Amino acid sequence: MTDRVDGRLKVTGAATYAADNRLDRLAYGYLVTSTVARGTIVSMDTAAASKAPGVLAVYTPFEPLKLYRYTKEQNDELTPPLQDANVRYFGQAIGLVVAETFEQARDAAALIQVRYDAKTPAASFRDGLPSAADPPSGSPVSEVLAPGVGSIDDALNASEVTISATYTASMQNHNAMEPHPTVAAWDGDHVTLYTATQGVILVVDRIAEALGIDKAKIHVRNPYVGGGFGNKWGIWAHTPLTAAAARALGRPVKTVLTREQAFTVVGHRPASQQTVSLGARKDGTLTAIKNDGVSSKSASNSFYEPVANLCLSLYASPNIHVSRKVVTLDVPVTTIMRAPQEANGSFALESAMDELAVKLGIDPLELRRKNDSPVVPSSGVPWSSKHLDECYRIGAERFGWSRRNPTPGAVTDGDWLVGLGMATATYGASRAQASVKVRLLANGTAVVSGTGADLGTGQSTVWAILAAESLGIPVARIRPDLGDSASPVAANAGGSGSTSTNGPAVQLATDAAKTAMIALAVQDERSPFHGMAAGDVRFEDGRLTAGNLSVPFGSLLTSLDVPGVEATATSPKNGDKTHGFRSFGAHFCEVRVNAWTGEPRVSRWLTVLDAGRIVNEKTAHNQIVGGVVMGIGHALLEETRLEPATGRISNADLASYLVPVNADVPPIDVRFLDYPDTLLSPLGARGIGEFGIVGAAGAVANAVHNATGKRIRDLPITLEKLLT
């Protein structure tokens, strides 16, 4: 249980987030965004804006800053801003005003008159569903059929019991607390960028392309990030624009998006629809799983959610069929957000499992236990380490699942209908290549450096713990140094892979630094260890020890007048193709629905999970709580409302886009099993960032059904849906 190493800095305001970089002669950028969703900009009258107080420059498609197209999609858009007059969505960046102050830039932006040749946008997912098409890349269908079975529909028809239902989920926005800032400062032909990102290397790549400069001339610094959730992976319009403006003006420039702009300029989670059919024997054994998934997709990029995919990985079934289709819309860019595919995918599958349990008259937990799969259901490859049944058992016991009344609406407490629901939690695990550098310093501390990002996840604390453990010194004597593009290339923060990828690299680099320290000790003539065999000197508890001789590494460096010893190590990507790697767990919740108003409230929550080794239970617990809170938002509150006629988002603020606040969240009980997944890495950690959200919405929907008898198949489950 280690406190967040950067916790004090953050709560005292001493942590420097990107927008906190107040540079000399800093100028301020403000984005101008489109007020139609589709068409062409005919003209932009910038005369008044250019003459407004403090204005330094006004950039538009008619007076652009030259930017080059990206060549590879990173879940963002390939089209750089202002290079043509086309409008592809409402709220698209169409201009940048730079002024002496933020307010001057914003006021001047309001003076710009834009004339459009506007066309009617396609902005309704629902209206587009009949013309859903195959996705831009990848296969539209994945299917496994038992020998002799002709099609998934044959398998369903041959099943003793079937259910079929369609589930939908609205578009959502990430809404990290920290808005999207970029500060750019040039020194000759070198640029330094402070920008909120899930990976400084991603920014280097993008800026090199957009500005047409060498990567070696770009330095990105971003040690602290105020939440990522997926849309700080891609690089958005303001970042290359700000860098280019700073170059053109010869002054540092800072651009921070407004909350409203953060609804359109930086991507969102697509809307989705899944039609799920399950076939089973009367005893609950699944015989067929079919999920036809459709996702919205922006006309501006190719990202969509293959929402049905989770069916390939969760429950055992001899016949599984998933399909993927997209509805292409004139909407802001669709991108990864908080367990892309899986959060929505699990809502449909977990709701369908509950519907099947009701139809079969089987306890929903029993139904899941019965179909627990020791292998990847779609491939037959065994899981590396799976303890889902233990999660179910511990969870049921701790939550009091056996006291659940299976009859919907049977339990009341005053005006409240009370229901219990559960669902399986899951998230895939991976391990990529990562390099990390460890420096042992003469003051007895160590610095651990790599390009990784801590989005508030606790990643830097994990680095400190692992290095401290290996060096045998207190965590307080380790300084994790993340988010600097000059460091060795570690994992970007995405796909919940930071700890599984970077953790083993921190361990290897620390070992290498210890070896380097011992080598120095036996080679330096002034060292008391001089002349010994390296193998006879041990590094433990922060000291070099041989026989009776024992010296702290810092003292030794000081006495040798050497400032530090460093080593860089690279840990390889996971090459094991003979196992599937995925975390599993179980959510249990109690939901109360007001009998008169339909208001749903989550009143109790337990999550039990197996994520491999837990490096730091305190921050891991926070991660899961955060995921469940997002799951409650997914289930009950979060919904981006797009006006179908205009393509405008009508609730682009945090007063009308609802996220859970403390009053919406009960105490969340989180229990970890601790089984290191040693097939994934020597560290054995699988990663936990997105794990907590997957299954959460399904658990809530199932509890709502148990409370009321109403099966709401459209997220979010708002009270008007419960009143009808």
Query: Measuring CA to CA, which residue among 524, 509, 516 is closest to residue 463?
Result: 509
Which stretch in 330-338, 410-418, 513-521, 672-680 sits in contact with ligand MOS by CB under 6 A?
330-338
Supply the minimum distance, in Å, between the C-beta of residue 119 and ligand MOS: 32
Q: Are residues 702 and 696 in contact, defined by beta-carbon separation less than 8 angstroms?
A: no
Query: Within 10 A of 99 (CB to CB), how many other CB atoms are there?
Result: 25
228 binds ligand MOS (CB under 6 A): yes
The CA distance from 4 to 656, in Å, is 32
Residue with Cβ nearer ligand MOS (81 or 495) = 495
Task: Please state the separation of Cα 425 from the chain's center in Å.
Answer: 16
Q: Contact letters (x/-) for ligand MOS, 154-193, by CB under 6 A?
A: ----------------------------------------
Q: Are residues 176 and 453 in contact, defined by beta-carbon separation less than 8 angstroms?
A: no
Q: Are residues 376 and 313 in contact, defined by beta-carbon separation less than 8 angstroms?
A: yes
198 binds ligand MOS (CB under 6 A): yes
Stated as kind and residue range, the H or E segment containing 366 is helix 364-370
230 binds ligand MOS (CB under 6 A): yes
Residue number, nearest CB to ligand MOS = 230
* Binder among 450, 494, 504, 627 for ligand MOS (CB under 6 A): 494
Which stretch in 92-100, 228-236, 572-580, 600-608 sits in contact with ligand MOS by CB under 6 A?
228-236
Q: Where are the beta strands (DSSP E) in 547-594?
A: 549-552, 564-571, 582-594
Which stretch in 244-252, 325-333, 337-345, 558-566 sits in contact with ligand MOS by CB under 6 A?
337-345
The CA distance from 417 to 408, in Å, is 9
Q: Are residues 706 and 404 in contact, defined by beta-carbon separation less than 8 angstroms?
A: yes
Supply the minimum distance, in Å, between the C-beta of residue 46 and ligand MOS: 36
The CA distance from 303 to 371, in Å, is 32
634 binds ligand MOS (CB under 6 A): no
Collapsed DSSP state (helix, strand, coil) of residue 35: coil
Residue with Cβ nearer ligand MOS (169 or 532) = 169
Residue with Cβ nearer ligand MOS (16 or 430) = 430
Q: Is 143 a catalytic residue?
A: no
337 binds ligand MOS (CB under 6 A): yes
Which stretch in 149-157, 226-234, 480-488, 629-637 sits in contact with ligand MOS by CB under 6 A?
226-234
236 binds ligand MOS (CB under 6 A): no
598 binds ligand MOS (CB under 6 A): no
- What Rg value do the Cα atoms of the chain yield, rounded? 27
DSSP state of 487: S
In terms of Cβ atoms closer than 10 Å to its own Cβ (0-12, 13-18, 19+), residue 29 is buried
Supply the minimum distance, in Å, between the C-beta of residue 609 and ligand MOS: 18
Question: What backbone phi and psi angles, to 5 degrees, belong to 58?
Answer: -130, 120
Collapsed DSSP state (helix, strand, coil) of residue 356: helix
The CA distance from 412 to 419, in Å, is 9
The CA distance from 294 to 645, in Å, is 21
Supply the minimum distance, in Å, between the C-beta of residue 651 and ligand MOS: 22
Q: Which of 143, 643, 690, 720 is catalytic?
A: 690
Supply the minimum distance, in Å, between the C-beta of residue 337 and ligand MOS: 5
Residue with Cβ nearer ligand MOS (92 or 457) = 457
- Which residues are 428's β-sheet partners? 582
196 binds ligand MOS (CB under 6 A): no
Collapsed DSSP state (helix, strand, coil) of residue 549: strand
Which stretch in 213-221, 333-341, 398-406, 644-652 sits in contact with ligand MOS by CB under 6 A?
333-341
Q: Which residues contact 700 (CB under 8 A, 6 or more apart)?
A: 421, 589, 591, 600, 602, 631, 632, 635, 636, 717
Q: Contact letters (x/-) for ligand MOS, 340-369, by CB under 6 A?
A: x-----------------------------
Residue 403 has which token pair?
């006291």
Residue with Cβ nearer ligand MOS (179 or 228) = 228
Supply the minimum distance, in Å, between the C-beta of residue 551 and ligand MOS: 45
The CA distance from 406 to 707, in Å, is 10
* Binder among 180, 221, 324, 338 for ligand MOS (CB under 6 A): 338
What residues numbered 28-87 form the site for ligand MOS, per CB under 6 A?
none
336 binds ligand MOS (CB under 6 A): yes
The CA distance from 625 to 67, in Å, is 41
626 binds ligand MOS (CB under 6 A): no
Supply the minimum distance, in Å, between the C-beta of residue 158 and ligand MOS: 39
How many residues bind ligand MOS (CB under 6 A)? The answer is 10
Q: Contact letters (x/-) for ligand MOS, 438-477, by CB under 6 A?
A: ----------------------------------------
Query: Measuring CA to CA, which residue among 513, 436, 501, 437 is closest to residue 472?
Result: 513
DSSP state of 512: H
Supply the minimum distance, in Å, between the C-beta of residue 347 and ligand MOS: 16
Which stretch in 8-16, 335-343, 370-378, 660-668 sits in contact with ligand MOS by CB under 6 A?
335-343
Q: What angle do CA 84, 85, 91 make, to 5 degrees?
A: 110
Stated as kind and residue range, the H or E segment containing 298 is strand 286-298
Supply the minimum distance, in Å, between the C-beta of residue 198 and ligand MOS: 6
β-bridge pairing 286-298 and 320-329: parallel
Q: Report the 3 state secondary structure along 220-233.
A: EECCCCCCCCCCCC
Supply the minimum distance, in Å, between the C-beta of residue 232 and ligand MOS: 7
Residue with Cβ nearer ligand MOS (336 or 349) = 336
Supply the minimum distance, in Å, between the C-beta of residue 550 and ligand MOS: 45
Residue with Cβ nearer ligand MOS (338 or 648) = 338
495 binds ligand MOS (CB under 6 A): yes
Which stretch in 334-342, 475-483, 589-597, 653-661 sits in contact with ligand MOS by CB under 6 A?
334-342
Q: Are residues 195 and 203 in contact, defined by beta-carbon separation less than 8 angstroms?
A: yes
Q: How far is CA 185 from CA 23, 27, 32, 671, in A?
A: 8, 10, 22, 46
What residues numbered 361-420 form the site for ligand MOS, per CB under 6 A?
none
| Active site amino acids | 690
Return residues touching ligand MOS (CB under 6 A): 198, 228, 230, 233, 336-338, 340, 494-495
